[in-house]
Chain A
Amino acid sequence: MEHAHHVEHPDMYDAESSKVGMWLFIFTELLLFGALFVIYAVYRYMNPDAFHLAGEELNRVIGTVNTVILLISSMTIAMATTALQKGQRNVAIGLVSITFVIGLVFLVNKYFEWGVKFSHGIWPGSEHMMNEMSHGEILFFGLYFVMTGLHALHIIIGMAIMVFAVRGLVRGKVHADRPSLLDNCGLYWHLVDLIWIFLFPLFYLIH
Chain B
Amino acid sequence: MQTTAVNGANYLTYQGKYKGLLGWILSTDHKRIGLLYLYSIATMFTTGVLLGLAMKFELLAPGKTIMEAQTYNSVFTVHGVIMIFMVVVPGLPAVFGNLMLPIMIGARDVAFPKLNLLSWWLYVAGVFLVLAALLFGKGSPDTGWTFYAPYSFKTGTNMLPAIFGAFVLGFSSILTGLNFLVTIHRLRCKGMKWMKLPLFVWTLYGTAWIQLLATPVVGITLVLVALERVFGVGIFDPALGGDPILYQHLFWIYSHPAVYIMILPAMGAISEIIPTFSQKHIFGYKALIASTMAIAFVGYLVWGHHMFTAGMSGTAQYYFSLLTFIVAIPSAIKVFNWISTLYKGSINVQTPFYWAVSFIFVFMIGGLSGLVLGALATDVHVHDTAFVVAHFHYIVFGGTGFAFFAAIHYWFPKIFGRMYDKAWANTGWLVFFVGFLALYTPMFYLGMMGMPRRYYDYLEEFHGGNILSTFGSWVLATGFIIIVVNLVRSARKGAPAEANPWHGKTLEWTVPSPPPVLNFDEEPVLGEKDGPYNYE
Contacts and interface: CB of A to CB of B under 8 A. Distances in A.
Interface residues of A, number: 43
Contacts of A21: 111-112, 115, 178-179, 182
Contacts of A10: 1-3, 108, 518
Interface stretch (B135-143, B232-240, B288-296, B423-431): B232-240
Q: With a 10 A CB-CB cut-off, give which of B216, B219, B250 has the most chain A CB atoms.
A: B216
Q: With a 10 A CB-CB cut-off, give which of A11, A38, A123, A124 has the most chain B CB atoms.
A: A124
A17 B240 CA distance: 46
Interface string B178-190: 1101100111000
Interface residues of B, number: 52
A12 B232 contact: no
Given A10-B2, A28-B212, A47-B241, A16 B220 contact: no
B217 A7 contact: no
Interface in B2-45: 2-3, 5-6, 9, 14-17, 28-29
Q: With a 10 A CB-CB cut-off, give which of A9, A47, A138, A139 has the most chain B CB atoms.
A: A9
Nearest to B239: A135
A58 interface: no
Contact of A35 (B1, B186, B240, B250): B250
Given A5-B6, A7-B5, A146-B227, A124 B219 contact: no
Interface in A22-66: 24-25, 27-29, 31-36, 38-39, 42-43, 47
B178 A5 contact: no
Contact of B217 (A4, A17, A34, A143): A34
A7 B111 contact: no
B250 A7 contact: no
Contact of A9 (B15, B109, B240): B109
Interface in B159-177: 174
A143 B235 contact: yes
A7 B242 contact: no
Interface string B212-231: 11111101110110010001
A103 B215 CA distance: 28
B246 interface: yes
A20 interface: yes
Q: With a 10 A CB-CB cut-off, give which of A10, A28, A33 has the most chain B CB atoms.
A: A28
Nearest to B14: A7
Contact of A17 (B15, B111, B227): B111
B437 to A, nearest CB: 40
Nearest to B3: A8
Contacts of A123: 231
A12 B113 contact: yes
A201 interface: no
Contacts of B216: 28-29, 31-32, 34-35
A37 to B, nearest CB: 10
Contacts of B1: 10-11
Contact of A42 (B5, B217, B243): B243
B517 interface: yes
B245 to A, nearest CB: 10
Contacts of B246: 39, 42
B217 A35 contact: yes
Contacts of A134: 241
Contacts of A27: 212-213
Contact of B6 (A7, A9, A35, A150): A7
B227 A9 contact: no
Contacts of A8: 3, 16-17
B240 A7 contact: no
A94 interface: no
Given A28-B216, A34-B217, 10 more contacts: A7-B3, A20-B186, A34-B216, A39-B224, A42-B243, A124-B234, A139-B241, A143-B233, A143-B235, A146-B227
Sorted nearest first, the 4 A-B pairs with minimum C-beta distance are: A135-B241, A142-B233, A125-B232, A124-B231
Interface of A: 4-12, 14, 16-17, 20-21, 24-25, 27-29, 31-36, 38-39, 42-43, 47, 123-125, 134-136, 138-139, 142-143, 145-146, 150
26 contacts: A4-B6, A5-B14, A6-B3, A7-B15, A7-B16, A10-B518, A17-B111, A17-B112, A28-B212, A31-B213, A32-B219, A32-B220, A33-B220, A35-B216, A35-B253, A39-B250, A42-B243, A47-B241, A124-B227, A124-B233, A124-B234, A125-B233, A139-B234, A139-B242, A142-B234, A145-B233
